[in-house]
Structure 1
Amino acid sequence: MTTAATTTPETRDGIRRRGTTWTALWWVNDTATGEPRQRSKGGFRTRRDAVAHRTTQLAAINDGSYTEVTDKTITIGRFLTDVWLPAIRTGDRRPSTIASYECAVDKWITPHIGGIRLVALTPRHVETLLATLRESGGRHGQPLSDRSVQYAYSTLRMAVDRAQRHGYVPRNVVATVDRPGAGQPSVDWWTTEQAQRFLRATATDRLFAAWALLLARGPRRGEIAGLRWSDVDLDRGTATIRHTRVSIGGRVVDSTPKTKAGGRTLSLDPGLVAVLRRHRTAQLADRMAAGPAWTNDADLVFTREDGQPYHPEHFSDRFDRLCAAADVPRIRLHDTRHTAASLMLAAKTPVKIVQEMLGHASPTITQTIYAHTIEGMGEAAGTQHSAALGIIADE
């Protein structure tokens, strides 16, 4: 019911005592009938608290910001699945973004606070949720990563903000809770010798071209999984990142780069072009062998023997096994991106070039993540410059 508010005078100044508590009273006009309807909120321990609440309501009436809760019975879980997510799906958000919201709702928020009425949500509920996720919100009861806890918080805050704007709650209590912090993510990388050893050990692997691209140009896993031949120009030596294939909550979603900077064109040197040509020849041989069973509707660069796409997790799982076989330090697949960036920076590639190759939004992000390498570059450059000026240490 939509209402327009009024300040019709109340008896006993709008405050009543009921037992040991106090109740605030005010009136609003029903826009459908034009008749005033009494509203109240009780349970205040002191008269002063009841007066303060009533004063707040009357001030909202006067400035036109007064709203009423449209449904006091709806639970957080039902609001998220029946109201908020359907509204999100009708927008222009990327499929992977929508899937990530669904994952946050289904795996992190609803299982813990989905049964609480939306109007009854308190900051304490939110704080308890975040603490629970940190301790045991991951797979098999493991701690959830800082980044995922932050995402759960942001998702809930965004949803309750919509609830407030549409009259389900008078305020967004999630906004009163501080956004959870996150530690500095670990950054591991290989030396040039270690990267070379891995590539030599995997030279005959079916996904060797993927490993070569990851270590030489630093694309993300989803960008490798979603790379299409239509976006690769071997004659010009370029590969354009236009599609991604990511795993969200175990479900594969085909999408596009998250930011404008993420959609970029990578330069392929003659060595990478040769690797991709060999890979394409091998894939064509697979296609001939599979015959009518072949299916690669998306024209993906990396597929199984029958043309079916790999699950993005397959790249990580296979990489982990190959690390052990190659006798190199075991790092995450994402750390090949750090390896590519660190080695390029160590080779004195300008930060701006590395930033564009990685698809970072700005050089500042690159400088922050790879400060360890850039600092070393600064020391080396300073020594070289001093030497050029004839400033050298005494023998």
Structure 2
Amino acid sequence: MELLNIECLGKRLRLEGSMAGWQQLYWDNQLVSQKSASPNNQAFHIHQFELTSQSTRPLSTPSAKQNSDSLENSALDDVIIDNIQTNAIPVRLEVDVKWQPFYLEYCVLVDEEQISQGQRTTKDIEQQVPEIAVPKANKISMVGLASLGFKLLKSAKVVKALLAGASVAAYSWLFSIEFALALIACLVFHEYGHIRAMKHFGMKTKGIYLIPFMGGLALSDERINTRWQDVVISIMGPTFGLFLSIACLVAYWVTGNVFFAGLAAFNALLNLFNLLPILPLDGGHILKSISFSMNSVTGLIACVAGAAIGVFISYSLGLALLGFLLLIGSLEIVFEWRGRHQSHLLPLDSYGQIFSAIWYLLTVSALIGIIWVIAATGDDMLRMPLEILKS
């Protein structure tokens, strides 16, 4: 990830690094220094490189005026080639990085004279826009292809309307027009939660796209820089879904209309499914951000133990499907844990890990509670979401 990007001698000095300890320093987009990952993961690093000052003078007239200096990377020693004299200028970057909570302190010296110093925190990382885009893996998926197709289409509003119409038609064909409209409302409310979170972080959004039989997508042109952003953006969709289910449940208690009870139960099931720890679902992003921010084997063991407890509770309550999917998702997180240091995302600190885990567990518990309460009414149709979890 990009740790630092400042001006140095008229060019950009950019530092990239990871929790594993490796760092790469670029001056004018040219690699000038790098540090390999180390077992002790030292926080303090000194990067050194040399620039050269070239001056020209006619060999036949030693008293002629010299041209102005220009800097470029070149040889280390002073040499004279024909009429060009090259002088090496040492540049040193001292940087001290603490990851949890993130804090970076730097100092730049040119020819042993300090020219720049400062600090960076998590807020600076969240707001930065890197000059060099992070390469993305070329994974073929339906979601990725759909996202790429949206970027290629200029008439976004027309596309949104067509997809929304197709979704209503598809769900009406499978169920009924009333159920289709209710389902679309649930999807839009869920995706709006993602949109609100993106706007909270100052990200430009492209709106909500409804895809028949796949759900919805909330798109943004900008990428996230921290795992806290990933957690908040991911969990705000199910959180908004929870608010909608609570509102429908209250409406059912006030009016006695079974339609509101059914909408509350099915919406809760929809958002609970999104919280499963399986990528690319919201729950997969949340638990991945939490577990990948734990920079120790102890953290991973704690995450696995928590997942095991969740599986045990699910099977104890007879929620077989939920327990099975939770187990599969947990294994997926464990398999990807070894590559956590290569991510460009700034990890969560200890407070962020605990807060995210509590937020996730409370949201899951509340959604299950709503499904359980509505199923207790005895209506066969309203018991369906609970029976699905028990299947």
Range of TM-score over shorter length: under 0.3
Q: TM-score, normalised by structure 2?
A: 0.22
Q: TM-score, normalised by structure 1?
A: 0.22
Q: Higher strand share goes to which structure?
A: 2
Which is higher, the Rg of structure 1 or of structure 2?
A: 1
